[in-house]
Amino acid sequence: SQASSSLQQMCEPSIYRDDDYADLDWDNLGFGIMPTDYMYLMKCSNGEDFEQGQLNRYGNIELGPAAGVLNYGQAVYEGTKVHRKEDGRLLLFRPEQNAIRMKFGAERMSMPSPSIDQFVDAVKQTVLANKRWVPPPGKGSLYIRPLLMGSGQILGLGAAPEYTFLVYVSPVGNYFKEGFAPLNLYVEKEFDRASRGGTGGIKSITNYAPGLKALTKAKNRGFSDVLYLDSVNRKNIEEVSSCNIFIVKGNAISTPAVNGTILPGVTRRSIIEIALDHGYQVEERVIPIDELIDADEVFCTGTAVGVASVGSTTYEGKRIKFKTGAQTVSQELYSTLVGIKTGLIEDKMDWIVEI
């Protein structure tokens, strides 16, 4: 009835009002965690399907000391973003790709995973409930972090008896403190990111903490991030700790082929498709470090990172510089990607999910 719908409107939290923004300094967003209003939680026990999930107030979660994730690292995560268009609509970017990647990763980590629909629905619900945290157009985006973990307790090594899927969000700007300035990468020769037959090709939480030592060392020396080589010969470029890598030579753009040690990035794939559409030759293959040294241009891609131009790489004590600035291939591809993500360029590829 009319009375009950107006009562519903009165009770509707103000977060659903379009003109309502969280009280934030929108001009100075970095990449940090900010407590927002809601997070999504969904559980699955003892081989059953995931039960109906729900939004909860954002906050701490309870885990037993013997939770599989805490002791044996059984978890995978995802990252995706939503942008606010000028007309106020919210644009998600290929969220089903993240759902598919989580499924693939969960299978490798012996975990059940939400269906594609459950995943995308959870992302949509979490974004809508936190709408006031989506930055104004041009000021950044709302980063979405879906996480799937073995939350049940287990003492001997084995798959956890219960799993929790959760989604939280945080408004973000640039990932690197350099902002849009070109990155200076350090080519790591002591540590590896991933090995053959391991988990480098999925978004397992266990891929990240082992990289902190090299990352901290590189950051202390003034570098932006670490570029890893293959673990067999330490000869071919693989991946940066937070993103994928591309090299440009003439009209050819190359990136390491996805072979089990490279994360199949959604931004990586999208940049490949945009580059092909723009008439570049794109190669996914093995790339010796010598070829990177000889490249015209180098750039990184990732959901958090976006498309970041690389100004230099330092390998065996030698600093090699690359072309940067407005007239670069990375800038051209980046403009198209951002245009599509923010609704300013036509979405020919059908990548945007509007909510």
Closest separation between CB of residue 311 and ligand COI, Å? 20
8 A C-beta contact, residue 116 and residue 103: yes
* Max CA separation in the chain (angstroms): 74
- Amino acid in position 281: Q
Closest separation between CB of residue 307 and ligand COI, Å? 12
Taking the least distance from each CB to ligand COI, the nearer of 130 and 303 is: 303
- 197 φ/ψ angles, rounded to the nearest 5 degrees: 80, -5
3-state class (DSSP) for residue 299:
strand
- Amino acid in position 84: R
Taking the least distance from each CB to ligand COI, the nearer of 149 and 154 is: 149
Cβ neighbors of 252 (< 8 A, separation 6 or more) are 280, 281, 282, 283
Closest separation between CB of residue 267 and ligand COI, Å? 7
Taking the least distance from each CB to ligand COI, the nearer of 280 and 351 is: 351
- Catalytic pick from 81, 103, 131, 203? 203
Distance CA 256, CA 286 (A): 5
DSSP 8-state assignment for residue 236:
B
Residue keyed to tokens 């459950």:
118
- Using CB under 6 A as the criterion, which residues of the chain lie in contact with ligand COI when the complex forms? 79, 242, 302-305
Distance CA 68, CA 154 (A): 6
- Amino acid in position 208: Y
Helices (H), the chain: 2-11, 68-72, 95-108, 116-129, 212-220, 266-277, 289-293, 329-341
Q: Which residue is nearest to ligand COI (CB)?
A: 79
Taking the least distance from each CB to ligand COI, the nearer of 53 and 302 is: 302
Taking the least distance from each CB to ligand COI, the nearer of 126 and 303 is: 303
Closest separation between CB of residue 235 and ligand COI, Å? 25
Closest separation between CB of residue 240 and ligand COI, Å? 9
Distance CA 261, CA 350 (A): 29
Taking the least distance from each CB to ligand COI, the nearer of 113 and 267 is: 267
Please calculate the CA angle 355-308-342 and round it to the nearest 5 degrees: 20
Give the containing element (helix H, strand E) for 186. Answer: strand 183-187
8 A C-beta contact, residue 214 and residue 274: no
Tell me if residue 203 is catalytic: yes
Helices 329-341/266-277 angle, 10° precision? 110
Closest separation between CB of residue 144 and ligand COI, Å? 9
Distance CA 121, CA 235 (A): 43
Closest separation between CB of residue 93 and ligand COI, Å? 11
* Active site members: 203
